[in-house]
Structure 1
Amino acid sequence: MFANYLIGLREGLEAALVVSILIAYVVRTDRRELLPRIWAGVALAVGVSLLFGAALTFGPRGLTFEAQEMIGGTLSILSVGLVTWMIFWMAGAARGMGAQLRGKVDEAAGKARWSLALVAMLAVGREGLETALFLWAATKATTSDGGSTWAPLVGAGLGLATAVLLGWLFYRGALRINLTAFFTWTGAFLIIVAGGVLSYGVHDLQEAGVLPGLNNLLFDVSDVIDPGTWYATLLKGIFNFSPATTVLEAVAWVAYVVPTMLVYLNRVRRPAPAPTAPVPSAVAGPPAS
């Protein structure tokens, strides 16, 4: 539940900040007539994201077990790729988000009527589609062994609600968020979560017969960590930990988490480039005597 809360909070906060920056800039530049276009774009993005989530949830139900597992595993791996891209993108883009969006507002305001709606839709829709796919994959992994289906959704909903509140406070000026620190820490945690989703995706493909080694277990600690206990549910919900893990699942987890985390930490620790010193004029006055 906490992992889904964090996904909803992080992705929702990114979208909420985008909307708050757009609205604040339009209001401050006395162009309130553009606000309906922004909200229309936001509404369209939310609608598309919900339809995408519904298609993921109900689409595969009429298929065979092997087909469902193959689709689930493929989409899980795809969601890991998308969330990894998002983590690295936000690590470098948080500081310049406001200036970039304000430039898009100025450009869109002078074009066609619905250009600004398109800016808002694309900015929010990207986060919405990524959230729907990653939440679906994480929820499917969490509930695969009979866990509650509503707890992950409640966690994600609470995260989105918190993000909306933080976005409103950000717009009102009551909260100053250190975006760099926020996205750095949550990015590192989401790499761990994504590693678990990847491992579960590999397990799905093993059950579908696409990948071998379903019965080749690296360890089985089910007698120590009972899957029905609260701490097993917690480990499953946050890290997608399975008491019975195959060799291929473990290899996939390590091969993803270790290098990704090292590259990510190296990137966020890298100092910002120093401003370039002004180049001296090539034409100088006569030397002082």
Structure 2
Amino acid sequence: MFGAALLVALREGLEISLIMGIIFSYLRGLNRKDTFKPVWIGAGVAIGLSIILGIILYLFTGSEEWNGQIYLETAIFFVAVGILSYMTFWMKKNSRGMNKGIQASINTALNNDSGSFQLVLLAFLTIIREGLELVMFLLAISVEGKGDLLSLSSGTFVGLIIAVLIGWGIYQGTTKINLKVFFQVMGNILIVVAAGLLINAIHELIELAIIQPGVYLYNWENILNRHSAVGGILHALVGYTDHLSSVQLIVWLVYIIPAIILFNRNKVKTVPNPTA
């Protein structure tokens, strides 16, 4: 659980750091450091609401079993897979134009009478999306880890600290990182993480007897138990299970193969033929 939480927190945290860095760098370039405070207020409110929502949802999916909990956990897995997949592809598509889009929003805010409020709103809306995404991913990881709060919180903390340090280094101009390569690598890793969450979602459906498991392909409980140290790490990162069913494998392949191909596909720009 620690490793999965660290990866997700690093990915989401770095995106937040980059966005905040773009905002502050542009405002600094305009010699408008007086507008930093509204941005911090908007970011703080978004982070606070994300934390509160995360705590509430964590309490609902804690170690105490209650009627209907398994249905909620199943829904969390599917929602996390959907959001994680969408976010990964969205970032690849929009990362190049993100800088200009944020600068345009800042210009609009500064040229408006309610500029301070618009800066608060800009920071809030930008960060709340990433915060809610992070909450959903961590919640799904928590569910599959059966509420191991220590591993979850420590992995999240380390991931966010690394993200903040990288973001601060980029803002100060002391750190250079190829963001295209970074997001490409992280995107592939997170697709694998999402596929692992999907395996757990299918496992929940099998437990609910909504679908049949087919046949179990192996039993490695005595070889590499998913509750062991190594097995637990693999389970958190890639959805490893010591009892893999044929249905889980089929769903995993149906998801991960097209996702990896589409994510790594480079669009070929076609040049129109000159007309005679």
- 8 Å contact from structure 1 (residues 69, 205) kept in 2: no
Q: Which residue is equivalent to 2:158?
A: 158
Q: Does 1:71 align with 2:72?
A: yes
Q: Which residue is equivalent to 1:282?
A: none
Equivalent in 124, 146, 149 of residue 121 of structure 1: 124
- 8 Å contact from structure 2 (residues 218, 244) kept in 1: yes
- 8 Å contact from structure 1 (residues 61, 68) kept in 2: no
Q: Which residue is equivalent to 2:12?
A: 11
Please give the secondary structure, in 1, of the residue aligned with 2:96: coil
Change (3 A) 1:29 1:157: same
- 8 Å contact from structure 2 (residues 226, 240) kept in 1: no
| C-alpha separation in 2, matches of 1:124 and 1:275 | 38
Q: How many residues matched?
A: 270
C-alpha deviation, 1:237, in angstroms = 2.3
Please give the secondary structure, in 1, of the residue aligned with 2:217: strand
C-alpha deviation, 1:57, in angstroms = 0.5
User: What are the Cα deviations for residues 55-100 of structure 1, in whole angstroms up to 9, with x where unaligned?
Assistant: 2101245996451111111111011111111100111222222111
Q: Which residue is equivalent to 1:217?
A: 216
C-alpha deviation, 1:155, in angstroms = 1.1
| Greater Cα radius of gyration, structure 1 or 2 | 1
| Structure 1 gaps, min length 5 | 280-289
C-alpha deviation, 1:16, in angstroms = 0.5
Q: Which residue is equivalent to 2:267?
A: 270
* Pairing of 1:88-103 with structure 2 (within 5 A): 88-103=89-104
Change (3 A) 1:38 1:3: same
Please give the secondary structure, in 1, of the residue aligned with 2:218: strand
Q: Which residue is equivalent to 2:57?
A: 56
Q: Which residue is equivalent to 1:248?
A: 247
Please give the secondary structure, in 2, of the residue aligned with 1:94: helix
Look up the equivalent residue of 2:200 and give its one-letter code: Y
- 8 Å contact from structure 1 (residues 207, 214) kept in 2: no
- 8 Å contact from structure 2 (residues 8, 159) kept in 1: yes
| C-alpha separation in 1, matches of 2:215 and 2:194 | 23
- 8 Å contact from structure 1 (residues 218, 250) kept in 2: no
| Structure 2 gaps, min length 5 | none
* Pairing of 1:116-195 with structure 2 (within 5 A): 116-141=119-144, 143-144=145-146, 148-195=148-195
Change (3 A) 1:154 1:108: same
- 8 Å contact from structure 2 (residues 213, 248) kept in 1: no
C-alpha deviation, 1:169, in angstroms = 0.7
C-alpha deviation, 1:105, in angstroms = 0.5
User: What are the Cα deviations for residues 181-214 of structure 1, in whole angstroms up to 9, with x where unaligned?
Assistant: 00000100110100000111121233234x2225
TM-score norm. by structure 2 comes to 0.90
- 8 Å contact from structure 1 (residues 137, 197) kept in 2: yes
Change (3 A) 1:107 1:275: farther
Identity %: 27
| C-alpha separation in 1, matches of 2:72 and 2:100 | 40
